[in-house]
Amino acid sequence: MTVGVTTDGATPSTGRRTGRHWLRVRSAQRLTEDAVAIVLDVPPPLAGHFAHRPGQHVTVRHRIGGVELRRSYSVCPPPDDATALRLVVKRLGPGGFGEYATTALAAGDLLEVSPPAGDFRLAEEPGAHHVLVAGGSGITPLLAMAAAALRSDPACRVSLVYANRSAASVLLAEELAGLAQAHPDRFRVLHVLSRESGPAAPPLSGRIDAARVPVLLRLLGVEPEQRPCFYLCGPLGLVESVGRGLADWGAAEEQVRFELFAAAPAADPNARPAAPAGARISVRLYGRTTELTMEPEDETVLDTLLRALPETPYSCREGLCGVCRTKVVAGSVRLRRQYALSEKALAAGYTLPCSAVPESAEVGLDFDA
Ligand SMILES: Cc1cc2nc3c(=O)[nH]c(=O)nc-3n(C[C@H](O)[C@H](O)[C@H](O)COP(=O)(O)OP(=O)(O)OC[C@H]3O[C@@H](n4cnc5c(N)ncnc54)[C@H](O)[C@@H]3O)c2cc1C
Ligand code: FES
C-alpha cells in the first residue's frame, strides 16, 4: 500500500477530480465521547488534487468484514491552517466507519480517500449577513464556511445556531469560542441543547422546531427585510423543521441552502418505483463509453453501472452527497428522491444515478459533461 498512489482514472475534460488515494493519518484527536478530529497528510504531488473549498466533502472508503463502506465527510480545517485536510467524524451507532474512527483509528494509519467534491457554499455577497444552522456533526462544513468568510470578507457578519443534545456533545466548542473572540462584532453563536435545561432556559434548551425559528432569529437580530441567506446542515428532521420555520418567517426558497448528512429511511417501499429491466444505458465515464442493460435485480441506474463499471463515483447511495452526479444526454430518468441537486442543476439535465430509474427505453449519461 503506497500513500498517494492514484488507483483509478481522471476526467481531463471536466476538471472533475477523480481517483482515490491512500493518505496517512497525521493525528486522530478525540473531541468528545463520540467524535474524533482526523488530520490527513497530503503528499505535495497531491496537493492540487486535495485542494478544497469551504463546504466541500471527501469520500472515505473503508472495509468492515469484507464489505466496503463509502462515507462522506466534510473538510473542516483547523483554525491555524486553512489548507489542512481535517475531518471530524462522529459515531452514530455500532458497526459503521464512525465507530472505527472513534475507537481504532490512530496516527500513522492509512485511509483511502477520494478528492473533495460538492457545491455547498456561501453566496458571494460581500458584506452579507450569513445565518447558519447546524445540528451535531453538521457543524463541519458550516464552521469551515464561517471561518473563511470572516477571514476573507471584513464587512460580512455570521450568525450560527448550533443544536446538540448536551454541552458535552458540542463539537469544536473551543474553536467556535475562539472565532467569536476574534470577531466579537461579526460572529455570534447560539447553542441550543435538546436534553439540557437549567440555566439555559428556552429558547436555548429543547429541540428546535419551526415555531422556535423566529425566536432564535430575533435573538440574533435577523429581520426579514435584511433578506439574509440561510445555510442549514445536519439530519433531515432538523433541516426540515428549520426550513418550515424560515418559510413561515418570510424567507423565500432561494434564501435557503442546505446540505443533508442523513435522510429518513424511505418509509413506503412502494415509493421505490420498479426499475424497467431491459432499459439500455449508454454511459461516458472517464472518457470511455460503455453500453449496459438494466437487469431485473437492479433497483437504480447506479446498480447497473456498478456491475460493469466499479469505478463509478458514488458515496451515500441516498441522493444526499451528489458524488454520483452525472448528466442525462439522451432519454430521461425519474429520481426516487434527491436532496443534492439544485433546481438549476436539474433543469440543466443533471441527475443522481443512485436514485434514478429510466423513464425511456434508452438513456444516455455523461459523467464527463
Ligand atoms: C455530504 C455529507 C457530508 C457529511 N459530513 C460528515 C461529517 O463531516 N462528519 C460526520 O460525522 N458525518 C458526516 N456525514 C455523515 C457520514 O457520511 C455518515 O453517514 C455517518 O458518519 C454514519 O456513517 P457510519 O458508517 O458511522 O454509520 P452507518 O454504517 O451508516 O451506521 C452505523 C450505525 O449507526 C446507526 N446510524 C446511522 N445513521 C444514524 C443517524 N443519523 N442517527 C442515529 N443512528 C444512526 C445505524 O442505524 C447503525 O446502527 C456526511 C454526510 C454527507 C452526505
Ligand atoms: S451517491 Fe450520494 S447522491 Fe448519489
Sign of CA dihedral 233, 234, 240, 246: negative
111 contact partners, CB below 8 Å, separation of at least 6: 22, 23, 25, 38, 40, 60, 62, 105
At the topology level of CATH, where does 280-366 sit? Ubiquitin-like (UB roll) (3.10.20)
Q: How far is the CA of 233 from the centre of ligand 1 (A)?
A: 13
Q: How far apart are the C-alpha atoms of 336 and 352, rounded to whole Å?
A: 10
- For residue 307, the tally of other CB atoms under 10 A from its CB is 15
How large is the average pLDDT for residues 149-166? 96
In tens, the pLDDT along 16-46 reads: 666 899 999 999 999 999 999 999 999 999 9
160 membership: H or E segment, kind and range: strand 157-164
Look over the chain and give the mean of its residue pLDDT values, rounded to a whole number. 91
DSSP state for residue 341 in the 8-state scheme: S
Stretch among 15-19, 176-180, 252-256, 291-295 having the lowest mean pLDDT: 15-19
348 Cα distance to chain centroid: 22
Q: Which numbered atom of ligand 2 lies nearest the CA of 321?
A: 2
Ligand nearest to the CA of 351: 2
Over 50: is that where the pLDDT of 302 sits?
yes
Cell 484527536 locates to: 29
Task: Please state the domain extents for the chain.
Answer: 21-113, 129-262, 280-366
The residues that bridge with 358 in the sheet, in sequence order, are 333
Whether this prediction's pTM lies above 0.85 is answered by yes
Ligand 1 pocket (Cβ < 6 Å) reads: 57, 69, 71-74, 88-90, 92-98, 137, 140, 235, 259, 261-262, 316, 320-321
Over 80: is that where the pLDDT of 149 sits?
yes
Q: How confident is the model at residue 134 (pLDDT cuts 50, 70, 90)?
A: very high
Q: Does domain 129-262 have CATH number 2.40.10.10?
A: no
Q: Which residue stretches of 108-220 are H helix?
A: 139-152, 173-182, 213-219
CATH number of 21-113: 2.40.30.10
